[in-house]
Amino acid sequence: MVPNISGAAQPSTGTQKGKDMDVTQEYEHEFGGKPACISRAPGRVNLIGEHVDYNDGPVLPAAIDREVNIASGENPNNLVRLFALDLDEKVTFGLDRLNVKVDIDGSPLPAWALYPAGVAWSLMEAGLEVKGLNACFTSNVPIGAGLSSSAAIEVGFGVTWQALASWDIKPLELAQICQRAENEYVGLSCGLMDQFASACGVENHALYFDTRSLEYQPAPLPKGVNIIIADSGVRRSLTTSAYNERRASCEKAVELLREYLPDIGSLRDVSPVEFAAYKEFLPEIERMRAEHIVKEIARVQSALSALRRSDDLAFGALMYSSHASLRDLYEVSTPELDILVELTRDLPGCLGARLTGAGFGGCTVNLVRQENSVEFMEKLELGYQERTGREARVYLCYASQGAASERTNS
């Protein structure tokens, strides 16, 4: 069964109907007929638990009301024709030439097209039918901002092919297929959190996700508190950043710690007490990276406990602690992200702030009391401009439902 999207949260700019109408009209103009399917897939914000997903740790993300919208129909010639509306770029490639990553003219696929092409490849590797596709898509998930725009595209095309071929898999399995696309086709060694949150989001809830057992549970967000995103305007490309280096440092730390803790499989298996005992045997870089991971995993557990007892002050304090660790130990923050976090400490109603996503640019996530939210947004924008000369986009964000597709009557 293909899930219905009627219960999906509305995006913060325009209605869902408006977004669907845009891609539908573009599809009709581009391909000369009505689309057979309309799909949506949200981005995500990670409230706490950064860089622990590829270390088998638990994370606490939420799907958000910033999403990819896709209008699509079948292509009878085993081709995939894509129109990226936001980039005003088009590409066509064959499903029989996915391994060589070229378009029908033999030119390398543009970077943005690797994501849907990778999903098609990964679906086929999983033994699922992938039909030829015509599609127009647009997104209001900022690219390179740490809100998982790439995962939203992957999961969006995943549910699109699911709807067109009518096969049925669980959202978590689809997330794993999309993760494989990013790992093995695009070439980024990401964990599962981003695709999981996009596929499995629950409205008005964060998701406690154990990346080792793959068990997850919704955690209700505090009442009277808003999630506010602040976009620093600094962009990064993960595949050309130090993301993969951080992952390699964690793997090296595990290898070295096994001399003292032979049964560990990942940093998830090292307790804070054990790490304190053996950290001096690690080189400085590996020690710093591992210390962040071990303590961040503990922070996630404390954060879940804080949500369960409605202790928003404790949750906010953990967010500040997480940011300091990402800045000083994992070294993935930027001066702009640090300024955004520092400014919040003097703003009324702010409970906590931290960078979200892999870092190296992008956004901060802030928990702010509802009654202070408008003032918070105005003062954070002004303070950031005064300190950096840059403009920050600051906006309310709501926890939304996960990805879905809907067949049309065409």
> Which of the residues are catalytic?
194
> What CA–CA distance (Å, rounded) separates 110 from 119?
15
Nearest to 126 by CA among 166, 176, 85: 176
> What CA–CA distance (Å, rounded) separates 52 from 230?
22
Instruction: Go through 142-156 and write b for each residue having 16 or more CB atoms within 10 A of its CB, e for each that does not.
Output: bebbbbbbbbbbbbb
The three state secondary structure string of 53-116 is: HHHCCEEEEEEEEEEEEEEEEECCCCEEEEEECCCCEEEEEEHHHHHHCECCCCCECCHHHHHH
Q: At what angle do helices 312-328 and 284-308 cross, to 10 degrees?
A: 170
The two tokens of residue 265 are 């499989």
CA angle 310/313/314 to nearest 5° reads: 80
Q: Are strands 79-84 and 133-139 parallel, antiparallel or unpaired?
A: parallel
List the beta bridge partners of residue 39: 70, 405
Q: What is the CA radius of gyration of the chain?
A: 21
> What CA–CA distance (Å, rounded) separates 54 from 318?
21
> What CA–CA distance (Å, rounded) separates 10 from 373?
19
What DSSP character marks residue 137? E
> What CA–CA distance (Å, rounded) separates 282 from 286?
6
